[in-house]
Structure 1
Amino acid sequence: MNDTPGWASPGSAPSDGQEAGVPRPAQPADDSGTPSDSPSKWSKTQPPPGQWSAPSAPGSGPVPPAPRPAPNWGGSPGPGPGGQYPGWGQTPLAAKPGVIPLRPLGVGEILDGAVSTLRAHWRTVLGVTIVVAVISQIGDILVQRYLLPEPVDVDPNASPTEALNQAVDAMQSTLLALAPSLFITIIGTLFTTAVLTVVISRSVLGRSVTLSDAWHEARPRLLQLLGLTLLLPVMGAAIVTVGILPGLLIGSGAGIALTMLGGLASVVVLIWLMVNFSLSSPALMLERQSIVASMRRSAKLVKGTWWRIFGILLLTMLLTFVVSMIIAVPFSLIAMAVDGDGLSGLLSGSGPDFGWPFLIITGIGTVISTSITLPISAGVSVLLYVDQRIRREALDLELARAAGVPGYGSERPGNDAPRG
């Protein structure tokens, strides 16, 4: 039964307890047109049910029986995209002007949309990712070759307190060694994310975009995106520091246990926050919001669907990791075979001392894997943002109008990309 006001299935009987004001079927009328309470004058002999037909004119053939109603009567009678009326009981097909259908998306559709964007705009996507990956990898190779400090020696016979101090020193050395590479990665990710967000937003509308157009649109938001990109790692480092600092200050066995417990708790909090803020970059780029406003916007869109978004992001990370390993492992094996000194040091246990051949060959593998996996990760993030806005704010109607899909109204000026 349809609860829509003013809708009733044709041929349905009045509900029990129907009020007097609701029309009822009229009683048979006599010759004067007034209802009659006298006994029925209809013949007692009637044709079998369903076989009666109205009298026909002389010479005409039998009138065919009335067509049966289509199945699923009571389905949505409204027109679908393009103004076409679907069959009764059928769900209207969603408009698909670009890489995704304009409706709530499944996990497979989000991943397929990210890959489809890479295929449809491969010149623009690979143009930016390869350039950024090559520059980042050259900087990383130079850092590894000339700026990395010597690893800290660990005494296997040290006491628990000495082992804890050695672990802290090793952690500090690792962080100092990773800091230049991390900074280079952040800067490279910044430019890539900014340009790819514009490309993916255009691909949702089915519009082509050149690298210069994407850069022109993304450039005004680079400073805000840089602030957001730096703020999130700093926030994560602060959370981890707060979690492990009490145990490090206490020392001894209890301090080690407290450090492990605090580190585990800080990781849980960090994961929760990172998922909440995972849609901040698309919100900042596409809605022209500030850093704090985009983080609040992301948390609002994620609210109530945290586990779903966490699962999609985790699946994306696993897929990109597998793709990276498939590409990187052969290059690493080739690099170790070419660089004999590094391989001999690795086998002897004295520690690898890889030279230029190893760094260059592994760098080529990293560039290739980054050029493939980074667009997929960025695509999933942007499409998750679009999906959440479709689910919560009916953004699909705005996107259909912006794409010029028939039946959704005219496009409003300036809607080249999905915006708030």
Structure 2
Amino acid sequence: MNDSPGWATPGPASDGERPGAPADQSGDGTTQPPAQPAGDQKWSAQQPPPGQWSSPGTDAPGTPGQNAPQAPQGQGWGSYGQPYGQHPGGQPGAPYGGQYGHPGGPGQWGKPPAAKPGVIPLRPLGLGEILDGTVSTLRAHWRAVLSFSIVVAAVFQVILVLVQRYAANDIATFSPDERTTPSEALAVMGDAMLFYAFSYYAEILGLFLVTALLAPVVSAAVLGQKSSASSTLNALRPLWGRLLGLTLVLFAGAVAAGMLPMLPGILTGSPALIALGLPVGLVLLAWFYVVFLLAPPALMLERGSVGDALKRSAKLVKGSWWRVFGISLLTALIAKITAAVIVTPFAIVAMVVSPGGFAGFLDGSSTQNWTFLIITAIGSVIAAAVTLPMQTGVTSLLYIDQRIRREALDLELARAAGLDHYGTTATQPGGGPVTGG
């Protein structure tokens, strides 16, 4: 226990060993301070009379104010015997200057709560606030959100179904009892890897596109404004060319980052080189994805060029790569789990009604059947309509959060929301400067 003066509150010692602790009681029940040893300077020789200690914000028992120094009006001493935050009117416990008061009183220490005109408070955001803001955006603007996400998900799912039905039809299927040479097995693995790589990059392309389309919707939700699919399309009309250009650049960059390390193995047909290049490609793809993740909302909300959007994203992510990566990875995991929960019932129904049943699903024959493909595609579209806005909403709020942290965007957002005096300094009568909106 620290024995420095002021560690424990006035009254009985907290552990019985503090120097100068009361040693006896007088006949009238009051505690008499013991004599101080000569040369001991820890405790003052002049102790206050019994019963004069008081807690903050209350008058001392006995005769009030006889032995305690009086603080100037409008100024709290913050010491024993005087109330915190003395109001100019002399009322104990009233907040000083209309803002600050004793802890737990009407005015709290520190700044007032940040303004929240829309789905997020206008200050640097935590992970929970980003996720909550995304869900609130989906609930408040579900018509515009679903309009874009369902259309994009349906288009990409149709492409994937056609590729799986025709291009992937050449992928050899074999049952466990068949003899397969190593070269045939490698060919099957290579074809399957190409198909899944195509599916993965199609998903990335869809994420970039939906992020750009929904960025104005998220921006309106942050300001507490309404938005619709038609108004969003009108706002995006001058940017369609730049949007398509940025999407293609990001898609090409993602393919290059992920596939170039494996290119020597692909060209030489060496599985060993492909296996060595795979982890390098995944690391490069993750780096590229995070660095340029904020480019779509930057393009839509700042209305610059494709190059400007790429530079803005790299600048905003610089120094915060791991934070952006962690939040994006967690959001992707949540989206994958949610999509699996939604798609699983459709996959079960597809296995039951498709020719060949469960046995055909195990040997891969039913996966090329139109019944199976259509039913699972419906489930995938519904899952994407839910998960795409979740991931893209988090990305747009990350962009806003990074600009708040680096560029004080919260002040501009407050003015755009109609809070003209937010963040300005004002003086209230009888008090000091306060900030707030």
Fold shared by both chains (TM-score > 0.5): yes
Structure 1 residue aligned with 2:147? 127
Identity percentage of aligned residues: 47
Q: Which of 286, 289, 304 in structure 2 is aligned with 1:274?
A: 289
Is the CA contact (8 Å cut-off) linking 2:298 and 2:313 kept in structure 1?
yes
Match of 1:119, SS state, is helix
Structure 1 residue aligned with 2:333? 318
Is the CA contact (8 Å cut-off) linking 2:204 and 2:251 kept in structure 1?
no
Structure 2 residue aligned with 1:235? 253
Matches of 2:288 and 2:379, distance apart in 1: 32
| Cα pair distance change 1:124/1:245, threshold 3 Å | closer
Q: Quick check: which one's helix share is greater?
A: 1
Structure 2 residue aligned with 1:384? 398
TM-score (norm 2): 0.67
Matches of 2:186 and 2:139, distance apart in 1: 46
Map 1:21-100 to 2 at 5 A. Answer: 50-51=65-66, 68-70=83-85, 87=107, 89-100=109-120
| Cα pair distance change 1:227/1:168, threshold 3 Å | farther
Q: Which of 288, 307, 314 in structure 1 is aligned with 2:303?
A: 288
| Cα pair distance change 1:221/1:167, threshold 3 Å | farther
What residue identity is the alignment partner of 1:100? I
Matches of 2:162 and 2:263, distance apart in 1: 33
Unaligned runs of 5+ in 1: 1-46, 55-65, 81-85, 411-420
Matches of 1:187 and 1:243, distance apart in 2: 21
1:299 equivalenced with 2:314 (yes/no): yes
Structure 1 residue aligned with 2:428? none
Structure 2 residue aligned with 1:366? 380
1:144 equivalenced with 2:164 (yes/no): yes
TM-score (norm 1): 0.70
Match of 2:366, SS state, is coil
Match of 2:356, SS state, is helix
Match of 1:340, SS state, is coil
Matches of 1:268 and 1:201, distance apart in 2: 31
1:113 equivalenced with 2:138 (yes/no): no
Structure 1 residue aligned with 2:345? 330
| Cα pair distance change 1:258/1:150, threshold 3 Å | closer
| Cα pair distance change 1:353/1:363, threshold 3 Å | closer
Match of 1:375, SS state, is helix
Deviation at 1:383, TM superposition (A): 0.2
Describe the superposition over 1:311-368 as per-residue Cα deviations: whole angstroms up to 9, x where unpaired: 0000000000011011000111011111132533234x36335433322221221121
Is the CA contact (8 Å cut-off) linking 2:299 and 2:305 kept in structure 1?
yes
What residue identity is the alignment partner of 2:256? A
Matches of 2:400 and 2:213, distance apart in 1: 17
What residue identity is the alignment partner of 1:110? I
Deviation at 1:300, TM superposition (A): 0.8
Is the CA contact (8 Å cut-off) linking 1:152 and 1:173 kept in structure 2?
no
Matches of 1:329 and 1:173, distance apart in 2: 21
| Cα pair distance change 1:190/1:235, threshold 3 Å | closer
Matches of 1:239 and 1:361, distance apart in 2: 34
Unaligned runs of 5+ in 2: 1-47, 53-64, 70-80, 87-92, 101-105, 425-437
Deviation at 1:134, TM superposition (A): 3.3
1:175 equivalenced with 2:171 (yes/no): no
Q: Which of 235, 239, 246 in structure 2 is aligned with 1:221?
A: 239
| Cα pair distance change 1:357/1:350, threshold 3 Å | closer
Higher relative contact order (CA 8 A, sep 6+): 1
What residue identity is the alignment partner of 1:91? K
Matches of 2:202 and 2:156, distance apart in 1: 6
1:203 equivalenced with 2:213 (yes/no): no
| Cα pair distance change 1:229/1:153, threshold 3 Å | same
Is the CA contact (8 Å cut-off) linking 1:98 and 1:205 kept in structure 2?
yes
Structure 1 residue aligned with 2:9? none
Deviation at 1:150, TM superposition (A): 1.3
What residue identity is the alignment partner of 2:305? S
What residue identity is the alignment partner of 1:101? P
Describe the superposition over 1:150-201 as per-residue Cα deviations: whole angstroms up to 9, x where unpaired: 1046897646xx47xx64685357537975x679767765653333111111
| Cα pair distance change 1:353/1:265, threshold 3 Å | closer
The more displaced of 137-146 and 378-387 is: 137-146
Is the CA contact (8 Å cut-off) linking 1:341 and 1:353 kept in structure 2?
no
